[in-house]
Amino acid sequence: MPKTSSALFALTALALLACGACSAESPADAAAAGGPGGGEAAADVDGGAQGPGGPTGQGAATPPVVLPADPATDCPAPYNAKGAGPKAGANAQYSIAGQSRSFTLLLPPATFTGPRPLLFSFHGTTENADKFITRAKLQDFVNKGFIVVAPNAAGNGTYWPVWDGMRGVGHEADPNKDLELVDSLLKCSAAHYEVDKNRVYGVGHSAGGIFMNRLLRSRSKDFAGGIVGSGVFSLTKTDSSANLDGMFVLVTWGGDNDTYKGTTPSGVNVPSFSFVEQASLASTFYEAEKNVGQAYCRGNDIGHAWLPLNTWFIEQLLAHPKGSATPGAVVLPPLPGGSPAVCKTGAYPLPPLPDVTCGSSTRAGCQQACQLMADCAAENRTVGTALGAQLASLGFSGTSCTGCVDKCEAKATTATDAQALSCFQTRQASASCGPGIDGAQPLIDAINDCCAGKTGSKFCVGLCQTINQNSAAKSFFPTCQAIAP
């Protein structure tokens, strides 16, 4: 697995391709290899298993190809000298994009030879690389021949302060230090270890799942695919409208009860956030990409958890090396008996929520302002769940927003209120709301624009005071932070 001469690699590759009958090491030997997380015994799998010599099964049609790289040009100091590359275990002082980063490296047993599949892993909000390795049992991947590179987040995110995965409109092309880290770690790993360029994958859960969406949409030319676990899809797009390169993507979540509640290390409190709609958006997007093969795995209501299907996951990733997956061509083998999930091909559909109708109002603009909140928030599975307490405080109940209209009519009594509500009236007439955070953008824009500078509007100040009670939502509403701090 360490870097060898090109001649030796060529001879080794030919030998490996002829070694389709070679078997992997025993589960006991694999477990003895150790590393963070231990992991379940990795049973042999069909459809692309990595034996000691290389891919077998369905994935063997695409031979391993070494990813060329040079320590001197592809690694920062002190990793840029021959023999001074990243070591198994914790690595620090990796300088990239003006930051000193750290990561954990897991290496497969020495019985695995030739170019290795490489797996990036991205941890969640309240953990680090090693904790996610343990929680997701990523040693299972190592036992099947993967190199695992697990960076630690540096808090580069904007809307979510972990990974830089979500970007506001117009900022998609801004420099991204986390993407730069991945680019560098991929090349530097390949400079010191033989990496199979046809089998570079990524996995992430929760905040790591957010970044996986951003990574797959930004680096499809470099990745064969990956697993998005309970990740937000909204606001992860890039500035490019080009089709993604050939990949295989698994979208996974814990089921209808997959929600996140908690406080980030930086103090952002999330009362409740559902990942179901986000999984549907991701599944639908990747399914529609003409070069991407997509499938989804829905947990049997096991909560906000990494699905315990690693052996099956490994099988699917290795069965779909770079460029082999196309829509309609993905065929999934059955899950092991007793698996707490259902996996299918095709997009995961969600029926729309019931309409919320606001009736009429005696004060101009109140009905339209409340209807805009209903269409873009109350009828939105993602935003409606996250802002549930705030919507209730504003007067929404079930499919009724009569309370919202009543409160608006009682509060909006000034000339400044009339100006703000006239703006809301105009915005609601042309608004097109939809699912996800992106689908709430007409409401977000209306509040930021119509209430800007209007400290004399009781309606705007009251609305913003309510929104500001949700620390996770505040970053979307700078106007509210200005007029109702």
How many whole angstroms separate alpha carbon 234 and alpha carbon 282? 8
Write out pLDDT tens, residues 164-215.
999 988 899 999 999 999 999 999 999 999 999 999 999 999 999 999 999 9
> For residue 2, what pLDDT band results from cuts at 50, 70 and 90?
low
H-assigned helices in 219-332? 276-288, 310-319
Is the whole model's pTM more than 0.75, yes or no?
A: yes
430: phi then psi, degrees, rounded to nearest 5: -115, 5
> 51 pLDDT exceeds 70?
no
pLDDT at 327: 64
From-to residues of CATH 3.40.50.1820 in the chain = 6-345
* CATH number at 6-345: 3.40.50.1820
CA neighbours closer than 13 Å in the CB half-sphere of residue 204: 32
Q: What is the DSSP string of 211-226?
A: HHHHHHHH-TTT--EE
**Which is more confidently placed, 270 or 363?**
363
Residue pair 242/260 in contact by the 8 Å Cβ criterion: no
**Which is more confidently placed, 255 or 36?**
255
Write out pLDDT tens, residues 92-120.
999 999 999 999 999 999 999 999 999 99
